[in-house]
Chains A and B, each alone.
Chain A
Amino acid sequence: MRLLQLENLKKYYASHKAVDDISFIIEEGNIYGLLGPNGAGKTTLLRMITGIIYPDEGRILFKEKEFDPLNDIFRIGYMPEERGLYKKMKVGEQALYLSMLKGLSRKEAQKRIRYWFEKFEMQSWWNKKVDDLSKGMSQKLQFVITVLHEPELLILDEPFSGLDPVNANLIKDEIFNLSKAGTTIIFSTHRMEQVEEICNKIILVNRGKKILDGDLNQIKNDFKEHIFRIGFKDTPPVFESEAFKVLNSTDHVVSVHINEGYQPSQVLRQYLDHDGAIHSFNELLPTLNEIFIRQVNEVETTPSFSDSI
């Protein structure tokens, strides 16, 4: 089912076009990576999806109905990149207040807070002030507050920034758990390795435009360049062939580009024929990082406009 559908969304500011005609579909139950360099329009896009600002043009469908910010935001959980909590307010009261603003009753909110606090071993924090928490602790608190009302759509803007590896893993596991339970997740970042690890779909934006979206594996396949890596036990044999071109060669490893019309098995056979003691043979798919940089640079060469936020 289509949980969210964006149609020709536009948001222009005086100095630049923050979001310039973006359309995409968010299918239920997936983990999406929303990628883009700083200033690409990710935050503006997310603010429109969360009903914080309205688009100048275009429309948003939520669960295949016109998006109604006043009611639909109860089903959305949003953890903005610029995180914040009331510093002087006690942790428990704060969680209670924010989840009641999301429409939970006091009783229900208390029950869920207790559950999550136990799960994350935060019970002793209840009467602490946010001021007294470390940065990582308040990050955890912020995450809990975002998911307390069990949103159908969870939007996380750079959720791991500032977290140590242990806590980052804790949150990551929780993201997978929520996804398994049916929550659709949009995960905005410019950290590619995290996206490859967590997401199964990606949307790539730059300068207010969408440049790419789809299934992560599909995209990687689409961008593959027929490059293979061959590992040898000894020094690799050197010879000329019409089937491939050597890109790179070290003591035990050779990277080759297989020319149009030839199959990997043919290349493998040629190496065997030259007495190569082959140890490993695998295709090198481009990393998301490479795809990202290539795509962004492609757009970059088109006439530029103001770079400010």
Chain B
Amino acid sequence: MNNKIGLIIKREYTTRVRNRSFILSTILLPLFFFGFIIATTYFSIKSIDKQHIAVRDESGEFKNSLKNDEEITFDFNNNINADNFAGEGYAAFLHIPADFASGKDSVKLISSKQLGIGTEEKVRNVIDDAIRDHTLLEHHIDKKLLDSINNVKPDELYHFSSVIRQGKKTEHSNAGLSYGIGFGSGMLIYITLFIYGAAVMRGVMEEKTNRIAEVIISSVRPFQLMLGKIIGIAAVGITQLLIWFAFIMILLGVASFLLSPETLQHTQSLQTAMSNQGNAETAIQFLSTKETFLSANWALILPCLLFYFLGGYLFYAALFAAVGSVVNEDPQEAQALMLPITMPIILSFIIMVSTAQNPDSKMAVWGSIIPFSSPIVMMARIPGGGVPAWQLALSIILLIGGFILTTYIAGKIYRTGILLYGKKVTLKEMSKWLFRRS
């Protein structure tokens, strides 16, 4: 009997892993992911265009104090007015009235279209700084002194370090890293829940619409067929995760080999000759990033990631299988019935986003304990290290109990639904099946 489940698992696994779409998605998804990150970074840098702003300064006080930077240039050109600035190629026209300080008249920034929120704020900051400097000079502050104050950098004044202390253990706190890993893991589980959940549902639908289900369940129990499919696809998911993990490790390995200390020294020795400082700096930066990356508590994070990935998948996969068993060829029917399953997943994602920023809020704590959302939410809390053992234990126990329950419920719906052809099933009917004896 058990070797039948084994046969089903094997079939589900091998047909999927050999499938072209598995190979493609395994390679393409990480590429897509990296591509996405690179593209967003690129565009966020690229989109900062240099903006020219024409200024009419009636007060005469700003002539030398509005400072240009990489993003904004101020032009004092008396030929430009509020009507012709756009035609002359200026992004905006800044009008400073003579008695701007009296409160009667205001400084006006006129543009032909909405400026970026950053630009507007930048312009204000420049004006603020100019007025502050102006006021200080009016009060007889030495010009040299003022310049030296303006040039102070915080890092030169003091050093800052933040550590986490739990009992005797101290470690460097790295809120950014925890956030990144937490968000990344939550996201990963969220995406894979959908991918593999949908795979289960499609697989069940295929068996039902192909009418092979009836052939198979004259050899095995419907529950075995359902379980075999769920476990087989879980194995596919784990395979894919491991491949991705290996992929990351190889990338790290290759990168750190290329940027080994010797290479670094080598680069540094070349540095003067080639005056190629940029590369060496990048290399040092990379090494320290790698070190911080490895400093995260992977011994806890990885097992938890694996558990919550599997637990979350098992919790939802059976429900997806139940939906697949009751729908017929109509994909819209599937969409409608999927809604009660996808809603909590999407909600968990929303909770996860806020949890990643604030891992100890009430919503985060409960979200990480209740099995509907715990697979996604808990992963956003764990990298921060502040999860009490009892919460983790409770969350794990509830999730295990949760997927046993959903599998039991789904099994009852599945065994009736899979044999029912050409009939639309309502939620009410499905709930009736739960209490029916075989």
Which A residues contact B (CB, under 8 angstroms)?
14, 47, 50-54, 70, 73, 76, 78-80, 82-89, 97-98, 100-102, 142, 145
Not counting A85-B212, A97-B7, A98-B216, a sample of 12 additional A-B residue pairs whose C-beta atoms are within 8 angstroms of each other reads A14-B429, A47-B419, A73-B219, A80-B215, A82-B421, A83-B215, A84-B215, A86-B15, A86-B210, A87-B210, A101-B8, A101-B220
The 6 tightest CB contacts between A and B, nearest first, are A84-B211, A84-B212, A82-B211, A84-B210, A101-B219, A78-B218
- Are the C-beta atoms of A85 and B219 separated by less than 8 Å? no
* Bound Cα distance from A80 to B213, whole angstroms: 10
- DSSP class of A's interface residues: helix, strand, loop or mixed? loop
Residue-by-residue, is B203-245 near A (CB-CB < 8 Å gives 1, otherwise 0)? Answer: 0001100111111111111000000000000000000000000
Decide yes or no whether B4 CB sits under 8 A from chain A. Answer: yes
Chain B nearest CB from A159 CB (Å) reads: 14
List B contacts of A47 (CB < 8 A).
419
Question: Which chain A residue lies CB-closest to B421?
Answer: A82
- Are the C-beta atoms of B213 and A84 separated by less than 8 Å? yes
Question: Which chain B residue lies CB-closest to A102?
Answer: B219
* Bound Cα distance from A70 to B223, whole angstroms: 13
Chain A nearest CB from B108 CB (Å) reads: 68
List B contacts of A100 (CB < 8 A).
7
Decide yes or no whether B1 CB sits under 8 A from chain A. Answer: yes
Which B residues contact A (CB, under 8 angstroms)?
1, 4, 7-8, 11, 15, 206-207, 210-221, 419, 421, 429, 432, 437-438
- Are the C-beta atoms of B7 and A101 separated by less than 8 Å? yes
- Are the C-beta atoms of A101 and B216 separated by less than 8 Å? yes
Chain B nearest CB from A17 CB (Å) reads: 15
- Are the C-beta atoms of B15 and A84 separated by less than 8 Å? no
* Bound Cα distance from A100 to B4, whole angstroms: 8
List A contacts of B214 (CB < 8 A).
52, 80, 82, 84
Chain B nearest CB from A72 CB (Å) reads: 11
- Are the C-beta atoms of B219 and A86 separated by less than 8 Å? no
- Are the C-beta atoms of A52 and B1 separated by less than 8 Å? no
A-B interface pairs (CB < 8 A), number: 64
Output the residue of B11, B214, B421, B429 with the most chain A CB within 10 A. Answer: B214
Chain B nearest CB from A74 CB (Å) reads: 8
List A contacts of B437 (CB < 8 A).
54
List A contacts of B419 (CB < 8 A).
47, 52-53
* Bound Cα distance from A76 to B217, whole angstroms: 12
A-B contacts, 19 of them at CB < 8 A, read A14-B432, A51-B218, A52-B419, A53-B438, A73-B218, A78-B215, A80-B214, A82-B421, A83-B211, A84-B207, A84-B210, A84-B212, A86-B206, A97-B7, A98-B215, A98-B219, A101-B7, A101-B219, A102-B219
List A contacts of B438 (CB < 8 A).
53-54
* Bound Cα distance from A86 to B19, whole angstroms: 14
Output the residue of B8, B207, B419 with the most chain A CB within 10 A. Answer: B419
* Bound Cα distance from A53 to B8, whole angstroms: 20
List A contacts of B218 (CB < 8 A).
50-52, 73, 76, 78, 80
Question: Which chain A residue lies CB-closest to B217?
Answer: A52
* Contact with B1, one of A50, A70, A79 (Cβ below 8 angstroms): A70
List B contacts of A83 (CB < 8 A).
211, 215
Indicate whether A97 sits within 8 Å of B211 (C-beta atoms), given known contacts A52-B419, A54-B438, A80-B218.
no
* Bound Cα distance from A80 to B11, whole angstroms: 22
* Bound Cα distance from A158 to B210, whole angstroms: 17
Question: Which chain B residue lies CB-closest to A78?
Answer: B218
* Bound Cα distance from A151 to B94, whole angstroms: 92
* Bound Cα distance from A70 to B438, whole angstroms: 15
Indicate whether A85 sits within 8 Å of B210 (C-beta atoms), given known contacts A14-B432, A53-B438, A97-B11.
yes
